[in-house]
Amino acid sequence: MSKYDIIIIGSGPGGYVTGIRASQLGFKVAIVEKENLGGICLNWGCIPTKALLKSAQVYDYLKHVDEYGLKAEAIDKDFEAVIKRSRGVAEGMSKGVQFLMKKNKIDIIKGFGKIKTGKKVDVTAEDGTVTEYSANNIIIATGARSRELPNLPQDGKKVIGYRQAMSLPKQPKKMIVVGSGAIGVEFAHFYNSMGTEVTIVEFMPNVVPVEDKDISKAFESSLKKSGIKVMTNSSVESVDTSGEGVVATVKTKKGEETLEADILLSAVGIKSNIENIGLEDVGIVVDRDKILVNDFYQTNIPGYYAIGDVVPGQALAHVASAEGITCVEKLAGLHTEPIDYGNIPGCTYASPEIASVGLTEAKAIEEGYDIKVGKFPFSASGKASASGNKEGFVKVIFDAKYGEWLGCHMIGAGVTDMIAEAVLGRKLETTGHEVLKTVHPHPTMSEAVMEAVADAYDEVIHL
**What domains sit in the chain, N to C, each tagged with a CATH number?**
2-146+271-341 (3.50.50.60), 159-268 (3.50.50.60), 352-456 (3.30.390.30)
- How far is CA 333 from each of CA 16, 136, 307, 328, rounded to the nearest angstrom? 21, 15, 18, 9
**How many Å separate Cα 261 from the centre of its chain?**
26
Cα–Cα distance for residue pair 103/1, rounded to 1 Å: 24
- Radius of gyration of the chain from Cα atoms? 24
pLDDT value for 1: 56
* Residue-by-residue pLDDT tens, the chain, 463 positions: 578 999 999 999 999 999 999 999 999 999 999 988 887 777 878 889 999 999 999 999 999 999 999 998 889 999 999 999 999 998 898 889 999 999 999 999 999 999 999 999 999 999 999 999 999 999 999 999 989 888 899 998 999 999 899 989 999 999 999 999 999 999 999 999 999 999 999 999 999 999 999 999 999 999 999 999 999 999 999 999 999 999 999 999 999 999 999 999 999 989 999 999 999 999 999 999 999 999 999 999 999 999 999 999 999 999 999 999 999 999 999 999 999 999 999 999 999 999 999 999 999 999 999 999 999 999 999 999 999 999 999 999 999 999 999 999 999 999 999 999 999 999 999 999 999 999 999 999 999 999 999 999 999 888 8
Query: What are the binding residues for NAD(+)?
Result: 179-186, 202, 269
The verdict on whether 442 is a catalytic residue reads: yes
How far, in Å, CA of 21 to CA of 16, rounded?
Answer: 9
Which residues are CB-neighbours of 99 under 8 A, at least 6 positions away? none
The verdict on whether omega for the bond into residue 377 sits within 30 degrees of 0, i.e. cis, is no
Q: How far apart are CA 19 and CA 331, in angstroms?
A: 13
pLDDT value of residue 417:
96
Total Cβ atoms within 10 A of residue 423: 18
Of 321, 318, 289, whose CA–CA distance to 307 is shortest? 321
Q: Cα(4)–Cα(113) distance, rounded to whole angstroms?
A: 15
- pLDDT reported for residue 268: 93
Quote the Cα angle for 103-104-107, to 5°: 105
- Looking at 64, 318, 409, 442, which residue is catalytic? 442
Hey, what amino acid is at 335?
A: H
pLDDT at residue 461 in the model? 87
- The burial of 357, by beta-carbon neighbours within 10 Å (0-12 exposed, 13-18 middle, 19 or more buried), is given as buried
Beta bridge partners of 123: 113, 131
What integer pLDDT is reported at residue 462 of this predicted model? Answer: 84
* 20 to 1, 76, 96, 153, 328: CA distances (angstroms): 23, 43, 13, 38, 10
Residue 305 has what pLDDT? 98
The residues, any chain, with a CB within 8 Å of residue 138's CB and separated by 6 or more, are 6, 7, 8, 9, 115, 119, 121, 303, 304, 305
**Closest to 361 in 3D by CA, of 412, 314, 393, 396:** 396
| 240 and 153 Cβ atoms separated by less than 8 Å | no
